């Protein structure tokens, strides 16, 4: 079935919603990226002075209540931030696609939804969601007389201080769950938890679900926020973050594909794309961003040499290109995270060299890391959204990079510019070894 010609059902992207440090909506993200800005700045949400890495692409002035239907305001109380970001991005995407869903129509509206419930699926990647520290600790200290926590006291008089639905805030599948309830999407639904690869793996699964006829439309992408104490600690422990030093912007510390890079920056965000079967999308005259011509996934062996090609990333890219039936000469741009994490960037760079050979010098590599930070499970959806917009606009966003990328890589600083983008590759690796890739094509 490999080799795009044989596809029984084509899939297209018809709507895009993002929530990033640039704000809610793809427009703000796109404008920020095209004008060469970074939303990665000193963390405001909490006092990060005790951490070596103190920058983040934070979503500011954001209240999820503004992005849910009136009748759904109460459940916002049981949404972790990751869920809030996804719910807002999904709303943006649905509106962008011009869809009527349970979430866009007034309650009890006689107007029909664009698609029936069971033809809409949902695949939103998520990560390990940290409990809100203040809420949990307020309960924990009830079981810590004299400052020492005691499990016996927790059992008798501690845990009851947590709201009954406490755990439901933090289950990763609650991200997709809220979106399916709000919009009435009762088709296949999944929550992929593969760190930075989650978003693109989810989009790949949505595409397959539509291709095999199990749905006509999917909400797809990912959402995550590590802008909290445990999140920042774990990201640092994993080697994902550069020490901040005196820097005040992501543009200063995140240097994609620079062999001397010292790490990345924290981000938070959600990227949700609406994927539809081309036939049903065309029937309703939907806006068309791009066709998803192929997807691929693969796992990497345990990495021992960060300067060697990431084998799994290479295979994922090859699988996606094979699925799309295209060769290196067909690809006009590559959209990756550009995390600044050396092991990831070098692994990806050498893998791209292996796939594209001499073609690589020609191909601009669009990166997001310096501009929005590492949104983990959210980044793949954001990459897909930006790539879809670029294909639709035939324009590349600006590229921030204060470093020197590996020789032969078209990834240095550059302004936004018009570009002929017939086919673009979008790809993600992860520190755990999961990889996903996708080929988007311009709609003729």
Partner 1 sequence: MTSSAPRVVITGMGCVTPLGHSVENVWAALLAGKNGVGRISRFDAATFKTNFAAEVKDFRLADFLPDASAHADAGLNAQFALGAAAQAFRQSGLDRAKLNKRRFGLYLGSGEGTLDFPNYVATHVAAWNETERKVDARAWAEKAYATMVPARETEQEANMTLSHVAWEFGCCGPASNCLTACAASTQAIGEAFEILRRGDADVMFAGGAHTMVHPLGVTGFIRLTALSARSDDPTTAARPFDQTRDGFVMGEGAGMLVLETLEHARARGANILAELTGYGSSADAFRITDMHPEGKGPLAAMTEAVRQAGIDPRATDASGRPLVHYIAAHGTGTKENDRIETSAVKQLFGPLAHQIPMSSIKSMMGHLIAAAGVSSLISCIQAIRTGFIPPTINYRTPDATLDLDYVPNTARDLRPKGGVHTCLCNSYGFGGQNDCVIVRAFNG
* Closest C-alpha among 27, 439, 43, 28 to residue 207: 439
Among residues 110 and 146, whose Cβ is nearest to partner 1? 146
3-class DSSP assignment, residue 17 = strand
Nearer CB in complex with partner 1: 31/214: 214
Number of neighbouring beta carbons within 10 Å of residue 328: 17
Question: Quick one: which of 88, 193, 172 has its CA closest to 130?
Answer: 172
| Rounded least distance, CB 127 to partner 1, Å | 7
N- to C-terminal Cα separation, the chain: 24
**How far is C-alpha 119 from the chain's CA centre?**
24
Phi and psi at 183, nearest 5°, equal -100, 0
Residue 251 corresponds to which tokens in the numbers above? 């543009």
Hey, what are 225's tokens?
Answer: 């926020």
With respect to partner 1, which residue has the nearer C-beta, 430 or 441? 430
Q: Please say which residue, 191 or 401, places its beta carbon nearer to partner 1.
A: 191
Minimum CB distance to partner 1, residue 327 (Å): 19
The structure tokens listed for 175 are 């991200």
Pick 151 or 407: Cβ nearer partner 1: 151
> Closest approach of Cβ 164 to partner 1, in Å?
5
Q: Output 118 or 330, the one with its CB closest to partner 1.
A: 118
Residue 412 is classified by DSSP as S
For the CB of residue 229, give the shortest distance to partner 1 in the complex, in Å: 5
Strand-pair category, 290-299 with 434-441: antiparallel
- Cα–Cα dist 322/319, whole Å: 5
Nearest distance, CB of residue 318 and partner 1, angstroms: 9
Q: Is 261 helix (H, G, I), strand (E, B) or coil?
A: coil
In angstroms, give the least distance from the CB of 155 to partner 1: 3
Contact 288, 277 (CB under 8 A): no
Nearest partner of 55 among 413, 369, 342, 367, judged by Cα: 369
Distance in Å, CB of 298 to partner 1, minimum: 6
């Amino acid at each position: 079935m490999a080799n795009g010609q044989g596809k029984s059902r084509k899939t297209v992207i018809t709507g895009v919603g993002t929530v990033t440090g640039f704000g809610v909506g793809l427009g703000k993200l796109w404008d920020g990226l095209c004008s060469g800005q970074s939303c990665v700045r000193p963390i405001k949400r909490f006092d990060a002075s005790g951490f070596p890495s103190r920058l983040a692409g934070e979503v500011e002035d954001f209240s999820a209540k503004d992005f849910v239907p009136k009748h759904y305001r109460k459940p916002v109380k049981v949404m972790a931030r990751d869920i809030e970001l996804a719910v807002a991005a999904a709303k943006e995407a649905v509106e962008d696609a011009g869809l009527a869903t349970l979430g866009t129509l007034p309650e009890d509206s006689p107007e029909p939804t664009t698609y029936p419930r069971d033809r809409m699926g949902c695949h939103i990647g998520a990560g390990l969601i940290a409990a809100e520290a203040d809420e949990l600790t307020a309960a924990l200290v009830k079981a810590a007389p004299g400052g020492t926590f005691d499990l016996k006291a927790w059992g008798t008089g501690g845990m009851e201080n947590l709201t009954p639905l406490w755990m439901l805030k933090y289950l990763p599948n609650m991200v997709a769950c809220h979106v399916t309830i709000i919009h009435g999407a009762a088709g296949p639904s999944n929550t992929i938890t593969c760190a930075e690869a989650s978003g693109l793996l989810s989009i790949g699964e949505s595409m397959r679900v539509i291709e095999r006829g199990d749905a006509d439309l999917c909400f797809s992408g990912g959402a995550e926020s590590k802008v909290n104490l445990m999140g920042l600690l774990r990201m640092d422990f994993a080697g994902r973050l550069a020490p901040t030093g005196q820097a005040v912007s992501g543009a200063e510390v995140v240097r994609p594909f620079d062999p001397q890079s010292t790490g990345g920056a924290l981000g938070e965000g959600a990227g949700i794309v609406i994927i539809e079967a081309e036939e049903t999308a065309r029937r309703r005259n939907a806006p068309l961003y791009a066709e998803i011509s192929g997807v691929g996934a693969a796992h990497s062996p345990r990495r021992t040499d960060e300067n060697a090609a990431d084998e799994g990333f290479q295979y994922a890219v090859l699988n996606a290109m094979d699925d799309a039936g295209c060769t290196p000469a067909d690809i006009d741009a590559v959209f990756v995270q550009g995390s600044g994490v050396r092991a990831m960037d070098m692994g990806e760079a050498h893998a791209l060299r292996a796939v594209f050979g001499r073609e690589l010098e020609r191909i601009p590599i669009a990166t997001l890391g310096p501009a929005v930070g590492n949104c983990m499970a959210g980044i793949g959806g954001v990459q897909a959204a930006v790539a879809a917009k670029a294909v639709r606009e035939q324009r590349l966003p600006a590229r921030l990079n204060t470093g020197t990328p590996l020789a032969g890589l078209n990834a240095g600083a550059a302004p936004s510019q018009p570009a002929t983008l017939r086919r673009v590759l979008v790809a993600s690796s992860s520190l755990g070894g999961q990889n996903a890739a996708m080929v988007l094509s311009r709609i003729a």
